Amino acid sequence: MTETLQKVEIAAEVTQILSDLGMRLKTVDNNALKVSSPIDGQTIAEIAITEREQRAVAVRDAHEAFLRWREVPGPRRGELVRLFGEELRKAKTALARLVTIEAGKITTEGLGEVQEMIDICDFAVGLSRQLYGLTITSERSQHRMMEMWNPLGVVGIISAFNFPVAVWAWNAALAVVCGNSLVWKPSEKTPLCALACQALFERACARFGEAPPNLSCVILGGSDAAVELAENPAVRLVSATGSTKMGSVIGPRVAARFGRSILELGGNNGGIVCQSADLDLTLTAVAFGAMGTAGQRCTTLRRLFVHEAVYDTFLERLKRVYSAAPVGDPRDSRTLIGPLIDARAFEAMRKSLEEARRAGGMVHGGERVTIDAHPDGFYVKPALVEMPSPSPLLRTETFAPILYVLSFRSLDDAIHMHNDVPQGLSSSIFTTDLRESEIFMSAIGSDCGIVNVNIGPSGAEIGGAFGGEKDTGGGREAGSDSWKSYMRRVTTTINFAKTLSLSQGVVFEVA
């Protein structure tokens, strides 16, 4: 099969998927965003970039939609999200295929990502009847205090290529049931997934019949579009997922206008393998955590600390798993590791491995793999790097399948090395010792927002709040009480007495 034919096949499949989802791409004469697939590196579509003036109009339109949507009762808002979940169920296979083609995820991971969208819709539908406030005891006789949650406004969502649909849905489903409108700036690397989700959301709106126009919209562009969202005072909340560098640009701009932000930034996640660990379970968890999504998850396992008593045994088993892991076309059901997103990602991986060697690391794997059918795709063997001691390199996250492995003698030492990085997203400990697990989960243990026991750091369920500490940004998305970020808190005091009494015993008599 020729390269040209392969290119046509992928592009034609994308066109068919978009058509099935209710989209037809328009011909673009100039100022086009070229969309390529990491599978073969070839252009699969050209779409129009949203001009600056159009982006400003989109925010204004979204604000007008919010003014109407905030008056719709929460359970009715939940009905729209329920309908959206139905559309996702019907389109699951097609949308997952688009994720595979545009982001390079293997088939099961593409399907899993769309399932996350469905799951968060289910969560949000229930939430629409549970936007609870509080009743607070007043210190004054015949007074009642209460706390309510009201809709916030326009929510700007900036998403990354590695989860091109799920992270948007985490934000969108909650924001919509909370009474807000949406403006989505997706990654320039995965805009088709965003347009497909928007089309499905519009289908749900059409079935719902009461949604105001422009309740959700997509704006396409580069970092300038993201900065505009951050600086626009009409965007009450900016939820941004990406690198720490990106967050350092977006966060201060939102803060400068006293806006709200949810920042989901770098991970650089660590795991600890104790002497008591179940090594069979640990092997599978480490393999998926480090190699899944070709190492391109914010929750990817990047640093592993193994007790010296089991270090040699475990490392030999891990090497065999690494050498045998199938790398290839993510559409092939036998593939476990698909391509890196682009040449830039491969170059970053190459440089990090060179630095590891200079620091005394022993590198296993990491080389580029030639796929005959896709010579322009960036496929790599996952890299396992034995490090003799901690290195400044371990403090930097490389978005690629690189796992640094170090040995430790005491749990205190392992925890110290684990926490000695700027990031603090997800973490894991593998142990059958109750005390070790409890220490790791305690205040003197992991300093991350996610602390797991006997599972890897990636693959979070939507029921819990997702997010991390330190340079990871501190934001929380998805489950638990993350919904409060999308609403404004109102504290009210009601006096049902016939006299006015002041708090704290203050007396203020007037004639």
Indicate whether 238 and 356 sit together in one domain.
no
Indicate whether 283 and 407 sit together in one domain.
yes
Q: Is residue 167 part of a domain?
A: yes
9 pLDDT higher than 90: no
Q: What is the pLDDT of residues 60-88, one digit of tens each?
A: 999 999 999 999 999 999 999 999 999 99
Q: Residue 322: which H helix or E strand, with range? A: helix 311-324
For tokens 């170059």, the residue is: 347
> Catalytic positions, please?
264, 298
How confident is the model at residue 1, as a pLDDT?
39
Q: What is the pLDDT of residues 95-130, one digit of tens each?
A: 999 999 999 999 999 999 999 999 999 999 999 999
Q: Is residue 8 part of a domain?
A: no
Q: What is the pLDDT of residues 340-396, one digit of tens each?
A: 999 999 999 999 999 999 999 999 999 999 889 899 999 999 999 999 999 999 999
4 pLDDT higher than 70: no
Q: Is residue 43 part of a domain?
A: no
Indicate whether 68 and 138 sit together in one domain.
yes
Indicate whether 237 and 330 sit together in one domain.
no
**167 in Cβ contact with 160 (< 8 Å):** yes
CA nearest neighbour of 466 among 475, 457, 458: 475
* The model's pTM: 0.95
Q: Is residue 344 part of a domain?
A: yes
Domain span at residue 129?
A: 51-265+473-490
Q: What is the pLDDT of residues 247-260, one digit of tens each?
A: 999 999 999 999 99
**Separation between Cα atoms, residue 174 and residue 457, nearest integer Å:** 24
Our count of domains for the chain comes to 2
Indicate whether 326 and 234 sit together in one domain.
no
How confident is the model at residue 3, as a pLDDT?
46
Average pLDDT, the chain: 96
How confident is the model at residue 28, as a pLDDT?
78
How confident is the model at residue 490, as a pLDDT?
98
Indicate whether 207 and 312 sit together in one domain.
no
How confident is the model at residue 134, as a pLDDT?
96
In the chain, the N- to C-terminal Cα span, in Å, equals 95
**Separation between Cα atoms, residue 186 and residue 127, nearest integer Å:** 26
Q: Is residue 38 part of a domain?
A: no
Residue of higher predicted confidence among 7 and 279: 279
Indicate whether 296 and 394 sit together in one domain.
yes
What CATH number corresponds to the domain at position 421? 3.40.309.10
For tokens 């065999």, the residue is: 320
* Mean pLDDT of the 422-435 span: 98
Residue 222 makes CB contacts below 8 A (sequence gap 6+) with 188
Indicate whether 202 and 275 sit together in one domain.
no
What CATH number corresponds to the domain at position 481? 3.40.605.10
State residue 179 phi and psi, 5-degree precision: 100, 20
7 pLDDT higher than 80: no
Indicate whether 95 and 205 sit together in one domain.
yes
How confident is the model at residue 22, as a pLDDT?
83
* Mean pLDDT of the 191-200 span: 97
Q: Is residue 40 part of a domain?
A: no
Indicate whether 256 and 277 sit together in one domain.
no
**181 in Cβ contact with 237 (< 8 Å):** no
460 pLDDT higher than 60: yes
Q: What is the pLDDT of residues 17-66, one digit of tens each?
A: 999 888 888 877 777 899 999 999 999 999 999 999 999 999 999 999 99
How confident is the model at residue 2, as a pLDDT?
45
How many residues belong to the chain? 511
Indicate whether 253 and 308 sit together in one domain.
no
Indicate whether 187 and 232 sit together in one domain.
yes
Q: Is residue 486 part of a domain?
A: yes
